[in-house]
A and B are shown apart, each in its own frame.
Chain A
């Protein structure tokens, strides 16, 4: 039997554990309020997209600096 790649285990079990804990508690802990929980999740997703996009933008910025003619 072959084991799954170690990175898959680290990603799904360790790296994403705080995400599971937070999302499960937001949705199911008292008081139940799916509207507010939903707004929280939308904010979190928007922040995640913004972080990854700004990292990519930083890469493009450095690429431009590196190719300046002076």
Chain B
């Protein structure tokens, strides 16, 4: 392990053998994914196990949409974390804000990507764009497209604005690829604009928070408005989604900060106090997620629930879906309780492990949330089944691999914090 050290731009320079191995492995995963996508685009959704409900006994949405919900949630969570840090000008957390900001963009892209994949013949995206002005008047799916686009625009704007400010306060000694980024974000930049840029970064932070807590609920509530669909319809869908987003966003940032600290030992920007702060956020949102989940489930497991809802509740709590449901609860509850009991002093390794467990737990639940109701349609005689095909698994896990690849590449290009200009002192 590296010796304790302060943050420097060394991570942007040179390429270690370990870094190359990681990138190569991720690129192989991305190429496999591309192969699976070409296969699906040419053969259509027949290569998946997605089918109509009822007589076809299938689920119309599966891993793609479940993982979309997970990515969209993480995008909202990391968006809220970035906004919170920037709006409150928590300088001790500036590296966390940059990490969360990069992830918000990557998760937004990954979410949008999985929607495009789920279209089956993905060039339908052109139809979605050309009909937007009509569909946005009534379709929650069109609102979702609008939300994800807004999220991408806001996250990139925050990256650009915060980098512009950082570069104004940093030495010019940058590697050539980072210097190119500086040129792009610094058009017309002068030292005189620093106070205004600080103000604009703060207020854009508020914009991110507003975006996260208003439009951010749409990927959840778009299911909650489907009156004919037992298990989806209900007024709490948006809040359930938001709770999942906040805990996964906190977990993703905690895991990333943990891995970076283990790799680089930056004790100034990722100090013990910052790591504990992240652990505290993860614990808080872990409990929030569990409380919201309880409220979400309790109505469908009582004897008074409508028949179609009750079938879903029974399958989830004690039936065929129970192993997945209880696994997801365990994967979130156990680390949350351990973190709370240890008062967020588990150490970087264990805390990172806890974050990974939470990410996995909510991923399982996101997929269940999408699939459960589709297996029990409004037809008493029918129950469906869904077993994702190899193509679905490769494309879904591939989306996660591609997201990781994008982040690993991003931290070779973008500084994660400021390194202040060398002071000219009176020595």
* A contact residues vs B (CB 8 Å cutoff): 5-8, 10-11, 14-15, 17-19, 21-22, 25-26, 29-31, 33, 35-37, 39-40, 43-44, 47-48, 51-52, 55-56, 58-60, 62-63, 65-66, 68
Chain B residues with CB below 8 A from A48, complex form = 149, 153
Q: DSSP majority for the A interface?
A: helix
Report the minimum CB–CB distance from A48 to chain B (whole Å): 5
- 30 pairs from A and B in contact (CB 8 Å cutoff): A6-B137, A7-B135, A11-B143, A15-B143, A18-B150, A21-B203, A21-B206, A22-B203, A22-B204, A26-B200, A26-B203, A31-B195, A33-B193, A36-B196, A39-B187, A43-B160, A47-B157, A55-B112, A56-B125, A56-B126, A58-B122, A59-B126, A60-B123, A62-B116, A62-B123, A63-B123, A65-B38, A66-B121, A66-B122, A68-B42
In the complex, chain B residues 148-192 whose Cβ is within 8 Å of any chain A Cβ: 149-150, 152-154, 156-157, 160-161, 187-188
B41 at the interface (CB under 8 A from A): yes
Q: How far is the CA of A37 from the CA of B193 in the complex (A)?
A: 10
Chain B residues with CB below 8 A from A11, complex form = 136, 143, 146
Report the minimum CB–CB distance from B237 to chain A (whole Å): 15
Contact status A15-B38, CB under 8 Å: no
Q: Quick one: which of B153, B188, B214 contacts A14, CB cutoff 8 A?
A: B214
Contact status B156-A47, CB under 8 Å: yes
B239 at the interface (CB under 8 A from A): no
Chain A residues with CB below 8 A from B329, complex form = none
Q: How far is the CA of A66 from the CA of B39 in the complex (A)?
A: 9
Chain B residues with CB below 8 A from A26, complex form = 200, 203-204
Contact status A51-B153, CB under 8 Å: yes
Q: Quick one: which of B129, B154, B193 contacts A36, CB cutoff 8 A?
A: B193
B293 at the interface (CB under 8 A from A): no
